[in-house]
Protein backbone atom coordinates (compact mmCIF):
# COMPACT_ATOMS: atom_id res chain seq x y z
CA UNK A 1 0.00 0.00 0.00
CA UNK A 2 1.39 3.38 -1.02
CA UNK A 3 1.41 5.83 1.90
CA UNK A 4 1.71 9.63 1.98
CA UNK A 5 2.30 11.66 5.14
CA UNK A 6 1.53 15.32 5.75
CA UNK A 7 2.69 17.71 8.46
CA UNK A 8 2.06 21.40 9.05
CA UNK A 9 3.02 24.16 11.48
CA UNK A 10 1.69 27.70 11.46
CA UNK A 11 4.48 29.91 12.81
CA UNK A 12 8.19 30.36 12.25
CA UNK A 13 8.70 29.71 15.96
CA UNK A 14 7.28 26.21 15.53
CA UNK A 15 9.47 25.72 12.48
CA UNK A 16 12.60 26.67 14.44
CA UNK A 17 11.72 24.26 17.26
CA UNK A 18 11.28 21.36 14.82
CA UNK A 19 7.72 20.56 15.84
CA UNK A 20 6.98 19.54 12.27
CA UNK A 21 9.82 17.04 12.45
CA UNK A 22 8.09 15.54 15.49
CA UNK A 23 4.90 15.12 13.49
CA UNK A 24 6.69 13.47 10.58
CA UNK A 25 8.65 11.22 12.98
CA UNK A 26 5.44 9.95 14.56
CA UNK A 27 3.93 9.29 11.13
CA UNK A 28 6.98 7.38 9.91
CA UNK A 29 7.02 5.31 13.11
CA UNK A 30 3.33 4.49 12.60
CA UNK A 31 4.10 3.23 9.10
CA UNK A 32 6.80 0.99 10.57
CA UNK A 33 4.22 -0.72 12.77
CA UNK A 34 2.32 -1.80 9.63
CA UNK A 35 5.28 -3.22 7.77
CA UNK A 36 3.58 -6.62 7.72
CA UNK A 37 0.73 -5.07 5.69
CA UNK A 38 3.20 -3.91 3.01
CA UNK A 39 2.86 -0.21 3.83
CA UNK A 40 5.50 1.66 1.80
CA UNK A 41 6.53 5.34 2.05
CA UNK A 42 8.20 6.92 -0.95
CA UNK A 43 10.38 9.95 0.04
CA UNK A 44 8.56 11.91 -2.67
CA UNK A 45 5.31 11.36 -0.75
CA UNK A 46 6.43 13.27 2.35
CA UNK A 47 4.51 16.55 2.21
CA UNK A 48 5.02 19.43 4.63
CA UNK A 49 4.01 23.07 5.03
CA UNK A 50 6.39 25.07 7.21
CA UNK A 51 4.84 28.27 8.52
CA UNK A 52 1.48 28.07 6.69
CA UNK A 53 -1.88 28.72 8.33
CA UNK A 54 -4.40 25.92 8.47
CA UNK A 55 -7.21 28.40 7.78
CA UNK A 56 -6.65 28.34 4.01
CA UNK A 57 -6.33 25.53 1.48
CA UNK A 58 -3.75 27.34 -0.66
CA UNK A 59 -0.59 25.70 0.73
CA UNK A 60 2.29 24.39 -1.42
CA UNK A 61 2.65 21.06 0.39
CA UNK A 62 -1.09 20.44 0.50
CA UNK A 63 -1.43 21.35 -3.19
CA UNK A 64 1.21 18.77 -4.11
CA UNK A 65 -0.49 16.20 -1.89
CA UNK A 66 -3.85 16.82 -3.54
CA UNK A 67 -2.25 16.45 -6.98
CA UNK A 68 -0.68 13.15 -5.90
CA UNK A 69 -4.04 11.85 -4.65
CA UNK A 70 -5.78 13.00 -7.80
CA UNK A 71 -3.15 11.21 -9.88
CA UNK A 72 -3.74 8.01 -7.86
CA UNK A 73 -0.13 7.95 -6.69
CA UNK A 74 -1.05 7.11 -3.07
CA UNK A 75 -3.61 4.85 -1.37
CA UNK A 76 -3.62 6.31 2.14
CA UNK A 77 -2.78 9.69 3.70
CA UNK A 78 -1.53 9.88 7.29
CA UNK A 79 -1.86 13.05 9.41
CA UNK A 80 -1.29 13.42 13.13
CA UNK A 81 -4.54 15.33 13.83
CA UNK A 82 -7.43 16.88 11.87
CA UNK A 83 -6.39 20.45 12.77
CA UNK A 84 -2.98 19.81 11.12
CA UNK A 85 -4.86 19.11 7.89
CA UNK A 86 -7.19 22.12 8.19
CA UNK A 87 -8.59 24.24 10.99
CA UNK A 88 -11.87 24.86 9.22
CA UNK A 89 -14.31 21.97 9.46
CA UNK A 90 -15.68 22.68 5.98
CA UNK A 91 -12.16 22.50 4.55
CA UNK A 92 -11.62 19.18 6.33
CA UNK A 93 -14.76 17.75 4.79
CA UNK A 94 -13.78 19.08 1.33
CA UNK A 95 -10.42 17.31 1.49
CA UNK A 96 -11.78 14.07 2.93
CA UNK A 97 -14.56 13.91 0.34
CA UNK A 98 -12.15 14.75 -2.50
CA UNK A 99 -9.71 12.04 -1.45
CA UNK A 100 -12.50 9.56 -0.85
CA UNK A 101 -13.74 10.05 -4.39
CA UNK A 102 -10.23 9.33 -5.63
CA UNK A 103 -10.19 6.05 -3.67
CA UNK A 104 -7.66 7.29 -1.10
CA UNK A 105 -8.21 6.70 2.63
CA UNK A 106 -7.28 9.22 5.34
CA UNK A 107 -6.07 8.31 8.83
CA UNK A 108 -5.43 10.55 11.84
CA UNK A 109 -3.05 9.24 14.48
CA UNK A 110 -4.55 11.16 17.40
CA UNK A 111 -8.09 10.22 16.46
CA UNK A 112 -8.49 7.07 14.33
CA UNK A 113 -11.67 7.25 12.28
CA UNK A 114 -14.09 4.64 11.08
CA UNK A 115 -17.51 4.71 9.47
CA UNK A 116 -19.09 4.87 12.91
CA UNK A 117 -21.39 7.95 13.15
CA UNK A 118 -19.90 8.67 16.58
CA UNK A 119 -16.45 9.09 15.02
CA UNK A 120 -17.80 11.49 12.43
CA UNK A 121 -19.62 13.46 15.12
CA UNK A 122 -16.44 13.72 17.17
CA UNK A 123 -14.52 14.87 14.09
CA UNK A 124 -17.08 17.62 13.56
CA UNK A 125 -16.77 18.71 17.19
CA UNK A 126 -12.98 18.75 17.00
CA UNK A 127 -13.12 20.75 13.77
CA UNK A 128 -15.53 23.27 15.31
CA UNK A 129 -13.28 23.66 18.37
CA UNK A 130 -10.21 24.17 16.16
CA UNK A 131 -12.06 26.80 14.12
CA UNK A 132 -13.20 28.53 17.33
CA UNK A 133 -9.62 28.52 18.62
CA UNK A 134 -8.37 30.06 15.40
CA UNK A 135 -11.05 32.77 15.60
CA UNK A 136 -9.90 33.63 19.11
CA UNK A 137 -6.28 33.82 17.96
CA UNK A 138 -7.17 36.06 15.03
CA UNK A 139 -9.19 38.40 17.26
CA UNK A 140 -6.40 38.62 19.84
CA UNK A 141 -3.84 39.35 17.15
CA UNK A 142 -6.09 42.05 15.66
CA UNK A 143 -6.58 43.75 19.00
CA UNK A 144 -2.88 43.51 19.82
CA UNK A 145 -1.91 44.95 16.45
CA UNK A 146 -4.42 47.80 16.86
CA UNK A 147 -3.04 48.60 20.32
CA UNK A 148 0.52 48.79 18.95
CA UNK A 149 -0.63 51.02 16.08
CA UNK A 150 -2.30 53.43 18.50
CA UNK A 151 0.80 53.44 20.68
CA UNK A 152 2.97 54.32 17.67
CA UNK A 153 5.24 51.28 18.02
CA UNK A 154 4.23 49.38 14.87
CA UNK A 155 4.28 50.41 11.20
CA UNK A 156 1.10 49.61 9.22
CA UNK A 157 3.11 48.35 6.23
CA UNK A 158 5.70 45.63 5.81
CA UNK A 159 7.33 47.23 2.74
CA UNK A 160 8.41 50.85 2.92
CA UNK A 161 6.89 53.25 0.35
CA UNK A 162 9.09 54.31 -2.53
CA UNK A 163 11.58 56.83 -1.18
CA UNK A 164 11.87 55.39 2.33
CA UNK A 165 13.90 52.66 3.99
CA UNK A 166 13.20 50.63 7.12
CA UNK A 167 15.82 49.63 9.66
CA UNK A 168 16.97 46.03 9.02
CA UNK A 169 17.22 45.46 12.77
CA UNK A 170 13.81 46.99 13.54
CA UNK A 171 11.75 46.57 10.35
CA UNK A 172 8.37 47.43 11.91
CA UNK A 173 9.59 50.21 14.25
CA UNK A 174 8.51 53.71 13.08
CA UNK A 175 11.65 55.16 14.67
CA UNK A 176 13.79 53.18 12.22
CA UNK A 177 12.29 54.74 9.05
CA UNK A 178 14.76 56.84 7.03
CA UNK A 179 14.72 58.64 3.68
CA UNK A 180 16.44 57.21 0.61
CA UNK A 181 17.98 60.36 -0.96
CA UNK A 182 17.86 59.20 -4.58
CA UNK A 183 14.30 57.88 -4.51
CA UNK A 184 13.08 60.83 -2.42
CA UNK A 185 14.44 63.18 -5.10
CA UNK A 186 12.39 61.31 -7.72
CA UNK A 187 9.26 61.60 -5.57
CA UNK A 188 9.76 65.33 -5.02
CA UNK A 189 10.28 65.83 -8.76
CA UNK A 190 7.08 63.92 -9.55
CA UNK A 191 5.05 66.15 -7.24
CA UNK A 192 6.65 69.29 -8.70
CA UNK A 193 6.15 68.27 -12.34
CA UNK A 194 2.56 67.13 -11.89
CA UNK A 195 1.59 70.49 -10.39
CA UNK A 196 2.55 72.16 -13.68
CA UNK A 197 -0.42 72.79 -16.02
CA UNK A 198 -0.96 70.17 -18.73
CA UNK A 199 1.19 67.46 -17.15
CA UNK A 200 -0.40 63.99 -17.10
CA UNK A 201 0.43 60.78 -15.31
CA UNK A 202 1.42 59.16 -18.61
CA UNK A 203 3.88 61.97 -19.29
CA UNK A 204 5.46 61.45 -15.87
CA UNK A 205 5.78 57.71 -16.52
CA UNK A 206 7.37 58.34 -19.93
CA UNK A 207 9.72 60.88 -18.36
CA UNK A 208 10.95 58.34 -15.80
CA UNK A 209 11.33 55.67 -18.50
CA UNK A 210 13.41 58.03 -20.64
CA UNK A 211 15.72 58.73 -17.71
CA UNK A 212 16.11 55.03 -16.96
CA UNK A 213 14.77 55.28 -13.39
CA UNK A 214 13.89 51.80 -12.05
CA UNK A 215 10.35 51.28 -10.79
CA UNK A 216 9.68 50.57 -7.08
CA UNK A 217 9.86 46.86 -7.92
CA UNK A 218 12.99 47.27 -10.00
CA UNK A 219 11.28 47.02 -13.39
CA UNK A 220 12.26 48.99 -16.50
CA UNK A 221 8.89 50.59 -17.30
CA UNK A 222 6.72 52.82 -15.17
CA UNK A 223 2.93 52.92 -15.44
CA UNK A 224 0.27 55.49 -14.67
CA UNK A 225 -1.17 53.51 -11.71
CA UNK A 226 2.30 53.32 -10.12
CA UNK A 227 2.80 57.07 -10.44
CA UNK A 228 -0.73 57.72 -9.18
CA UNK A 229 -0.10 55.51 -6.13
CA UNK A 230 2.96 57.61 -5.22
CA UNK A 231 1.12 60.91 -5.68
CA UNK A 232 -1.78 59.75 -3.51
CA UNK A 233 0.31 58.46 -0.60
CA UNK A 234 0.07 60.87 2.38
CA UNK A 235 3.20 59.32 3.93
CA UNK A 236 5.30 61.75 1.89
CA UNK A 237 3.94 64.61 4.00
CA UNK A 238 5.62 63.02 7.03
CA UNK A 239 2.56 61.29 8.55
CA UNK A 240 2.08 57.53 8.65
CA UNK A 241 -1.57 56.48 8.80
CA UNK A 242 -3.19 53.10 9.31
CA UNK A 243 -6.67 51.97 8.18
CA UNK A 244 -6.49 54.10 5.03
CA UNK A 245 -8.00 51.31 2.90
CA UNK A 246 -10.14 48.25 3.38
CA UNK A 247 -9.94 45.23 1.10
CA UNK A 248 -13.06 43.74 -0.45
CA UNK A 249 -13.43 40.57 -2.53
CA UNK A 250 -13.11 41.01 -6.30
CA UNK A 251 -16.30 41.38 -8.31
CA UNK A 252 -15.06 41.27 -11.91
CA UNK A 253 -12.77 39.15 -14.03
CA UNK A 254 -9.42 40.80 -14.67
CA UNK A 255 -9.56 39.87 -18.35
CA UNK A 256 -12.00 38.12 -20.66
CA UNK A 257 -9.20 36.70 -22.83
CA UNK A 258 -6.62 35.61 -20.24
CA UNK A 259 -6.71 32.77 -17.70
CA UNK A 260 -8.48 33.96 -14.58
CA UNK A 261 -6.02 32.58 -12.06
CA UNK A 262 -6.31 33.43 -8.41
CA UNK A 263 -8.56 36.30 -7.28
CA UNK A 264 -7.13 39.62 -6.19
CA UNK A 265 -8.91 41.83 -3.69
CA UNK A 266 -9.54 45.51 -4.22
CA UNK A 267 -8.40 48.19 -1.76
CA UNK A 268 -11.30 50.56 -1.11
CA UNK A 269 -10.25 54.01 0.24
CA UNK A 270 -11.74 54.89 3.61
CA UNK A 271 -12.87 58.35 4.80
CA UNK A 272 -10.00 60.43 6.12
CA UNK A 273 -11.66 60.89 9.51
CA UNK A 274 -11.34 57.12 10.10
CA UNK A 275 -7.58 57.08 9.53
CA UNK A 276 -5.36 56.27 12.49
CA UNK A 277 -2.22 58.40 12.88
CA UNK A 278 0.63 56.07 13.80
CA UNK A 279 3.86 58.04 13.67
CA UNK A 280 5.83 60.91 12.14
CA UNK A 281 8.54 60.27 9.52
CA UNK A 282 10.78 62.66 7.53
CA UNK A 283 8.66 64.56 5.02
CA UNK A 284 9.43 64.68 1.28
CA UNK A 285 6.81 67.25 0.23
CA UNK A 286 4.79 69.84 2.09
CA UNK A 287 1.14 69.48 2.98
CA UNK A 288 0.22 72.33 0.62
CA UNK A 289 1.94 70.63 -2.31
CA UNK A 290 0.25 67.34 -1.51
CA UNK A 291 -3.20 68.97 -1.32
CA UNK A 292 -2.66 70.70 -4.67
CA UNK A 293 -1.77 67.41 -6.33
CA UNK A 294 -4.84 65.69 -4.84
CA UNK A 295 -7.11 68.40 -6.21
CA UNK A 296 -5.63 67.97 -9.70
CA UNK A 297 -5.97 64.18 -9.53
CA UNK A 298 -9.64 64.49 -8.57
CA UNK A 299 -10.26 66.89 -11.45
CA UNK A 300 -8.47 64.80 -14.07
CA UNK A 301 -10.37 61.66 -13.05
CA UNK A 302 -13.50 63.02 -14.69
CA UNK A 303 -11.62 63.31 -18.01
CA UNK A 304 -10.59 59.65 -18.11
CA UNK A 305 -11.19 57.81 -21.39
CA UNK A 306 -13.70 55.51 -19.76
CA UNK A 307 -15.89 58.56 -19.12
CA UNK A 308 -15.59 59.83 -22.71
CA UNK A 309 -19.01 59.44 -24.31
CA UNK A 310 -18.68 62.09 -27.01
CA UNK A 311 -19.23 59.44 -29.68
CA UNK A 312 -21.42 56.37 -29.71
CA UNK A 313 -19.57 53.03 -29.85
CA UNK A 314 -21.75 49.95 -29.59
CA UNK A 315 -18.83 47.71 -28.54
CA UNK A 316 -17.07 50.11 -26.20
CA UNK A 317 -14.83 48.13 -23.78
CA UNK A 318 -15.81 44.81 -25.42
CA UNK A 319 -13.17 44.49 -28.17
CA UNK A 320 -9.80 42.73 -27.81
CA UNK A 321 -6.89 42.28 -30.19
CA UNK A 322 -6.34 38.73 -31.42
CA UNK A 323 -2.60 39.34 -31.92
CA UNK A 324 -1.48 40.50 -28.47
CA UNK A 325 -4.60 39.97 -26.32
CA UNK A 326 -4.79 43.58 -25.18
CA UNK A 327 -8.00 45.58 -25.19
CA UNK A 328 -8.91 47.83 -28.10
CA UNK A 329 -9.91 51.40 -27.32
CA UNK A 330 -12.46 53.35 -29.33
CA UNK A 331 -10.84 56.35 -31.08
CA UNK A 332 -12.03 59.10 -33.42
CA UNK A 333 -9.76 60.81 -35.94
CA UNK A 334 -10.71 64.21 -37.33
CA UNK A 335 -14.18 63.70 -35.86
CA UNK A 336 -15.17 61.64 -38.91
CA UNK A 337 -13.30 58.34 -38.83
CA UNK A 338 -13.97 55.99 -35.92
CA UNK A 339 -11.81 52.98 -35.04
CA UNK A 340 -11.14 50.37 -32.40
CA UNK A 341 -7.40 50.69 -31.82
CA UNK A 342 -5.32 48.03 -30.05
CA UNK A 343 -3.60 49.40 -26.97
CA UNK A 344 -0.48 47.50 -28.00
CA UNK A 345 0.08 50.03 -30.78
CA UNK A 346 0.66 52.82 -28.29
CA UNK A 347 3.82 53.92 -26.56
CA UNK A 348 5.66 51.18 -24.66
CA UNK A 349 4.98 53.07 -21.43
CA UNK A 350 1.27 52.63 -22.05
CA UNK A 351 1.25 49.16 -23.61
CA UNK A 352 4.06 47.63 -21.49
CA UNK A 353 5.23 45.92 -24.67
CA UNK A 354 8.72 46.21 -26.13
CA UNK A 355 7.42 46.14 -29.72
CA UNK A 356 4.38 47.65 -31.40
CA UNK A 357 1.44 45.34 -32.09
CA UNK A 358 1.01 44.61 -35.84
CA UNK A 359 -2.80 44.75 -35.68
CA UNK A 360 -4.58 47.10 -38.03
CA UNK A 361 -7.11 49.75 -37.05
CA UNK A 362 -10.61 48.23 -36.99
CA UNK A 363 -13.37 50.45 -38.44
CA UNK A 364 -15.82 50.92 -35.60
CA UNK A 365 -18.99 51.34 -37.60
CA UNK A 366 -18.38 48.22 -39.69
CA UNK A 367 -17.56 46.10 -36.64
CA UNK A 368 -20.57 47.43 -34.72
CA UNK A 369 -22.90 46.57 -37.61
CA UNK A 370 -21.33 43.14 -38.08
CA UNK A 371 -21.75 42.17 -34.43
CA UNK A 372 -25.26 43.60 -34.16
CA UNK A 373 -26.47 41.80 -37.30
CA UNK A 374 -24.96 38.53 -36.08
CA UNK A 375 -26.60 38.98 -32.68
CA UNK A 376 -29.97 39.61 -34.33
CA UNK A 377 -29.55 36.53 -36.50
CA UNK A 378 -28.74 34.42 -33.46
CA UNK A 379 -31.84 35.62 -31.62
CA UNK A 380 -34.06 35.28 -34.70
CA UNK A 381 -33.46 31.56 -35.10
CA UNK A 382 -33.92 28.95 -32.36
CA UNK A 383 -31.28 26.59 -33.78
CA UNK A 384 -28.19 28.20 -32.14
CA UNK A 385 -29.84 28.14 -28.75
CA UNK A 386 -31.00 24.56 -29.29
CA UNK A 387 -27.44 23.51 -30.14
CA UNK A 388 -26.15 25.19 -26.99
CA UNK A 389 -28.71 23.38 -24.85
CA UNK A 390 -27.86 20.10 -26.57
CA UNK A 391 -24.21 20.60 -25.67
CA UNK A 392 -25.29 21.27 -22.10
CA UNK A 393 -27.21 17.97 -22.02
CA UNK A 394 -24.05 16.28 -23.24
CA UNK A 395 -22.08 17.64 -20.30
CA UNK A 396 -20.21 20.45 -22.07
CA UNK A 397 -21.64 23.07 -19.72
CA UNK A 398 -21.37 21.22 -16.44
CA UNK A 399 -20.20 23.42 -13.58
CA UNK A 400 -16.45 23.22 -13.17
CA UNK A 401 -16.54 21.18 -9.98
CA UNK A 402 -18.76 18.52 -11.68
CA UNK A 403 -16.45 18.38 -14.69
CA UNK A 404 -13.54 17.82 -12.32
CA UNK A 405 -15.45 15.06 -10.55
CA UNK A 406 -16.23 13.31 -13.83
CA UNK A 407 -12.62 13.50 -14.97
CA UNK A 408 -11.41 12.20 -11.60
CA UNK A 409 -13.78 9.24 -11.82
CA UNK A 410 -12.58 8.36 -15.30
CA UNK A 411 -8.93 8.61 -14.29
CA UNK A 412 -9.65 6.40 -11.28
CA UNK A 413 -11.25 3.73 -13.45
CA UNK A 414 -8.28 3.80 -15.83
CA UNK A 415 -5.82 3.45 -12.98
CA UNK A 416 -7.74 0.51 -11.46
CA UNK A 417 -7.88 -1.31 -14.78
CA UNK A 418 -4.11 -0.89 -15.11
CA UNK A 419 -3.68 -2.27 -11.59
CA UNK A 420 -5.83 -5.24 -12.50
CA UNK A 421 -3.73 -5.94 -15.59
CA UNK A 422 -0.51 -5.73 -13.59
CA UNK A 423 -2.00 -8.00 -10.90
CA UNK A 424 -3.01 -10.61 -13.49
CA UNK A 425 0.43 -10.42 -15.06
CA UNK A 426 2.03 -10.95 -11.64
CA UNK A 427 -0.15 -14.03 -11.03
CA UNK A 428 0.65 -15.49 -14.44
CA UNK A 429 4.34 -15.08 -13.68
CA UNK A 430 3.84 -16.90 -10.35
CA UNK A 431 4.87 -13.83 -8.36
CA UNK A 432 1.79 -14.04 -6.09
CA UNK A 433 -0.29 -17.10 -5.08
CA UNK A 434 -3.84 -17.75 -6.26
CA UNK A 435 -5.60 -16.81 -3.00
CA UNK A 436 -3.76 -13.48 -2.81
CA UNK A 437 -4.56 -12.82 -6.47
CA UNK A 438 -8.28 -13.48 -5.97
CA UNK A 439 -8.43 -11.32 -2.85
CA UNK A 440 -6.77 -8.36 -4.53
CA UNK A 441 -8.79 -8.82 -7.72
CA UNK A 442 -12.10 -8.73 -5.82
CA UNK A 443 -10.99 -5.56 -4.06
CA UNK A 444 -10.07 -3.84 -7.32
CA UNK A 445 -13.26 -4.95 -9.08
CA UNK A 446 -15.37 -3.59 -6.23
CA UNK A 447 -13.62 -0.24 -6.49
CA UNK A 448 -14.14 -0.20 -10.27
CA UNK A 449 -17.85 -0.90 -9.82
CA UNK A 450 -18.13 1.84 -7.21
CA UNK A 451 -16.51 4.41 -9.51
CA UNK A 452 -18.69 3.30 -12.42
CA UNK A 453 -21.79 3.72 -10.28
CA UNK A 454 -20.73 7.22 -9.26
CA UNK A 455 -20.08 8.22 -12.88
CA UNK A 456 -23.45 6.84 -13.96
CA UNK A 457 -25.17 8.74 -11.20
CA UNK A 458 -23.40 11.92 -12.24
CA UNK A 459 -24.37 11.37 -15.87
CA UNK A 460 -28.04 10.80 -15.14
CA UNK A 461 -28.44 13.31 -12.38
CA UNK A 462 -32.17 14.00 -12.42
CA UNK A 463 -31.77 17.39 -10.82
CA UNK A 464 -29.34 18.51 -13.52
CA UNK A 465 -31.55 17.25 -16.31
CA UNK A 466 -34.51 19.09 -14.80
CA UNK A 467 -32.42 22.23 -14.48
CA UNK A 468 -31.33 22.02 -18.13
CA UNK A 469 -34.94 21.63 -19.20
CA UNK A 470 -35.77 24.81 -17.32
CA UNK A 471 -32.81 26.55 -18.94
CA UNK A 472 -34.06 25.62 -22.41
CA UNK A 473 -37.51 27.03 -21.69
CA UNK A 474 -36.04 30.21 -20.19
CA UNK A 475 -33.74 30.76 -23.18
CA UNK A 476 -36.58 30.35 -25.63
CA UNK A 477 -38.75 32.76 -23.66
CA UNK A 478 -35.94 35.32 -23.54
CA UNK A 479 -35.39 35.01 -27.29
CA UNK A 480 -39.05 35.56 -28.07
CA UNK A 481 -39.29 38.61 -25.81
CA UNK A 482 -36.19 40.28 -27.19
CA UNK A 483 -36.65 39.44 -30.86
CA UNK A 484 -39.82 41.50 -31.21
CA UNK A 485 -38.11 44.77 -30.26
CA UNK A 486 -34.76 44.41 -32.06
CA UNK A 487 -35.68 46.47 -35.13
CA UNK A 488 -37.04 49.43 -33.12
CA UNK A 489 -34.31 49.40 -30.44
CA UNK A 490 -32.56 52.69 -29.71
CA UNK A 491 -28.79 52.92 -29.34
CA UNK A 492 -28.99 52.75 -25.55
CA UNK A 493 -31.23 49.67 -25.74
CA UNK A 494 -28.89 48.02 -28.24
CA UNK A 495 -25.92 48.88 -26.05
CA UNK A 496 -27.61 47.36 -23.00
CA UNK A 497 -28.42 44.18 -24.91
CA UNK A 498 -24.86 43.89 -26.24
CA UNK A 499 -23.42 44.25 -22.73
CA UNK A 500 -25.67 41.44 -21.56
CA UNK A 501 -25.18 39.00 -24.46
CA UNK A 502 -21.61 39.63 -25.69
CA UNK A 503 -18.73 38.60 -23.47
CA UNK A 504 -15.94 39.62 -25.85
CA UNK A 505 -15.27 40.43 -29.51
CA UNK A 506 -11.78 39.36 -30.61
CA UNK A 507 -10.51 40.84 -33.88
CA UNK A 508 -7.56 39.27 -35.69
CA UNK A 509 -7.01 41.09 -38.97
CA UNK A 510 -10.12 40.18 -41.03
CA UNK A 511 -11.34 37.46 -38.64
CA UNK A 512 -13.89 38.32 -35.95
CA UNK A 513 -14.70 35.97 -33.07
CA UNK A 514 -17.84 36.81 -31.06
CA UNK A 515 -18.19 35.14 -27.67
CA UNK A 516 -21.84 35.12 -26.70
CA UNK A 517 -23.36 34.50 -23.28
CA UNK A 518 -27.04 33.98 -22.59
CA UNK A 519 -29.04 34.42 -19.39
CA UNK A 520 -30.55 31.16 -18.17
CA UNK A 521 -33.17 32.62 -15.84
CA UNK A 522 -35.17 35.86 -15.60
CA UNK A 523 -33.11 36.95 -12.59
CA UNK A 524 -29.82 36.63 -14.47
CA UNK A 525 -31.02 38.97 -17.24
CA UNK A 526 -29.83 41.84 -15.06
CA UNK A 527 -26.34 40.47 -14.32
CA UNK A 528 -23.42 40.83 -16.71
CA UNK A 529 -21.36 37.74 -17.39
CA UNK A 530 -18.08 39.41 -16.33
CA UNK A 531 -19.39 39.62 -12.75
CA UNK A 532 -19.86 35.84 -12.50
CA UNK A 533 -16.59 34.41 -11.22
CA UNK A 534 -17.16 30.66 -11.40
CA UNK A 535 -13.61 29.64 -12.26
CA UNK A 536 -12.11 30.76 -8.95
CA UNK A 537 -11.47 27.47 -7.19
CA UNK A 538 -11.10 28.95 -3.69
CA UNK A 539 -14.26 31.10 -3.92
CA UNK A 540 -17.27 28.73 -3.87
CA UNK A 541 -20.05 31.31 -3.49
CA UNK A 542 -19.49 33.12 -6.81
CA UNK A 543 -18.98 29.69 -8.39
CA UNK A 544 -22.62 28.92 -7.65
CA UNK A 545 -23.72 32.27 -9.05
CA UNK A 546 -22.02 31.47 -12.36
CA UNK A 547 -24.71 28.92 -13.12
CA UNK A 548 -26.96 31.86 -13.96
CA UNK A 549 -25.38 32.25 -17.42
CA UNK A 550 -24.59 30.02 -20.37
CA UNK A 551 -21.72 30.93 -22.68
CA UNK A 552 -20.75 29.79 -26.18
CA UNK A 553 -19.14 31.14 -29.32
Selected from 3.40.50.2300, 3.90.79.10, 3.90.1750.20, 3.60.20.10, the CATH number assigned to the domain covering 164-303 reads 3.90.1750.20
Question: Residue range 465-477: average pLDDT?
Answer: 62
229-248 residue pLDDT tens = 999 999 999 999 999 988 87
Please report, for the chain, the start and end positions of each structural domain, with discontinuous segments joined by +. Answer: 2-136, 164-303, 311-553
For residue 287, what pLDDT is reported?
95
For residue 179, what pLDDT is reported?
94
Is the pLDDT at 466 greater than 80? The verdict is no
Residues 6+ apart with CB under 8 A from 518: 385, 388, 475, 478, 501, 549, 550, 551, 552
Q: Give the integer Cα–Cα distance in Å for 393 and 465.
A: 7
Question: Residue range 189-218: average pLDDT?
Answer: 92
Whether 200 and 300 have beta carbons less than 8 Å apart is answered as yes
Q: Which residue would you say has higher pLDDT here, 258 or 81? A: 81
Question: Residue range 237-262: average pLDDT?
Answer: 78
Whether 498 and 364 have beta carbons less than 8 Å apart is answered as no
The segment with the largest mean pLDDT, out of 12-21, 83-92, 372-381, 448-457, is 372-381
For residue 461, what pLDDT is reported?
56
Q: Give the integer Cα–Cα distance in Å for 76 and 95.
A: 13
Fold classification of 2-136 (topology level)? Rossmann fold (3.40.50)
pLDDT band at 354 (very low <50, low <70, confident <90, very high): confident
Is the pLDDT at 261 greater than 70? The verdict is no
pTM summary value: 0.57
For residue 400, what pLDDT is reported?
52
Q: Which residue would you say has higher pLDDT here, 503 or 483? A: 503
For residue 183, what pLDDT is reported?
95
Q: Which residue would you say has higher pLDDT here, 173 or 552? A: 173
Q: Give the integer Cα–Cα distance in Å for 63 and 70.
A: 10
DSSP states of 248-307 as a string? E---S-S-SSS---S---EEEEPPGGG-EEEEE---SS-HHHHHHHHHHHHHHHTT-GGG
Q: Give the integer Cα–Cα distance in Å for 112 and 118.
A: 12
pLDDT band at 462 (very low <50, low <70, confident <90, very high): very low
Same fold, 2-136 and 164-303: no
- Name the 3-class secondary structure at 235: helix
Q: Give the integer Cα–Cα distance in Å for 471 and 164.
A: 57
Is the pLDDT at 185 greater than 90? The verdict is yes
The segment with the largest mean pLDDT, out of 245-249, 342-346, 380-384, is 342-346
pLDDT band at 547 (very low <50, low <70, confident <90, very high): very low
Whether 197 and 208 have beta carbons less than 8 Å apart is answered as no
Question: Residue range 98-117: average pLDDT?
Answer: 79
Q: Give the integer Cα–Cα distance in Å for 183 and 176.
A: 17
Is the pLDDT at 91 greater than 50? The verdict is yes
112-143 residue pLDDT tens = 665 666 666 766 676 677 667 777 787 888 88
- Tell me, letter by letter, the H, E, C secondary structure of 86-116: CCCHHHHHHHHHHHHHCCCEEEECCCCCCCC
* Mean of per-residue pLDDT scores for the chain: 80
Amino acid sequence: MRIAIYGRVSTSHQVEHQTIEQQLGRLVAHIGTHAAEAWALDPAHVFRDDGFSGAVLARPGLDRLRDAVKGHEVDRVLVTAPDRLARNYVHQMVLLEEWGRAGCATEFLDRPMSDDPHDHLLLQIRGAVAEYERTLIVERMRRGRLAKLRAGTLLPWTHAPYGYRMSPDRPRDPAGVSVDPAEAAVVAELFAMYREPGTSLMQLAAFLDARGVPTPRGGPRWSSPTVRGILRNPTYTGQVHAQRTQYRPPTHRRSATHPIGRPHGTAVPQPQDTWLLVAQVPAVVSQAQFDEVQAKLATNQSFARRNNTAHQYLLRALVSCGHCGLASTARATNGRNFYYLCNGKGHSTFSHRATCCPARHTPARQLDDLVWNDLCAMLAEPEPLARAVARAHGGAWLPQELLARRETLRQGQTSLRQQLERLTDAYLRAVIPLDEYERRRRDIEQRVQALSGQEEQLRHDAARQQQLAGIAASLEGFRERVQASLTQASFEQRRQLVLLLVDRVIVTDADVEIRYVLPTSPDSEHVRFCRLRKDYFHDPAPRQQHEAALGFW
